[in-house]
Amino acid sequence: MIRTAFYAGSFDPVTNGHVDVVRNACRLLDRLVIAIGTHPGKEPLFTAEERTHLLQNVFAPVAKESDCALEIVTFDDLTVEAARRAGASILLRGLRDGTDLDYEMQIAGMNAQMAPDLQTVFLPASTAVRPITATLVRQVASMGGDVSAFVPPLVAEKLALKFKAGR
């Protein structure tokens, strides 16, 4: 049986915390589907196409290290429906702290009611990446701060270009 997980998020931008989750997940899985959620009411910093490019470039080498197949998709409906379309049996979620756990447990409970065939699996973040959030990274980058400790080099470069163009 092929173990396929569905890791959904906005990934706006991808952070070293996301890389940590993916690295640990790839050690456990045969196939990982990274799913970029799009919402018509939200205006992300990076387009879905830009995020797809960044995720592919950042995560492909990580997945290859563990011989895990990687796929990047976008979705705009329920996570459980998108996970089923992708052939996943696992919903993967990263946890930084107790606040994340409380929130993610609520979502896992709702998802279990809607899709009992999908199992939510939580992976704790490594100590070094626990404080990193995409929101904080965007805020620091928007004010000209150095985000290189929080994101992969390609993402830091793209953030600098994005905010330089916006000024």
Strands (E), 24-165: 31-37, 69-75, 90-95, 119-124
Task: Give the bridge partners for 4, in sequence order.
Answer: 31
Q: Report pLDDT digits (tens) over 62-115.
A: 999 999 999 999 999 999 999 999 999 999 999 999 999 999 999 999 999 999
* Fold adopted by 4-130: Rossmann fold (3.40.50)
- Average pLDDT over the chain, rounded to an integer: 95
Average pLDDT over residues 22-40: 96
Q: What is the pLDDT of residue 167?
A: 46
- CA–CA separation, 144 and 63 (whole Å): 32
Read off the tokens for 70.
């990687």
**For the whole model, what pTM was predicted?**
0.94
Break the chain into its structural domains and give their ranges. Answer: 4-130
Q: CB burial class (10 A; 0-12, 13-18, 19+) of residue 70? A: buried
pLDDT at 146 over 70: yes
- Could you tell me which of 12, 52, 17, 31 has the C-alpha nearest to residue 123? 17
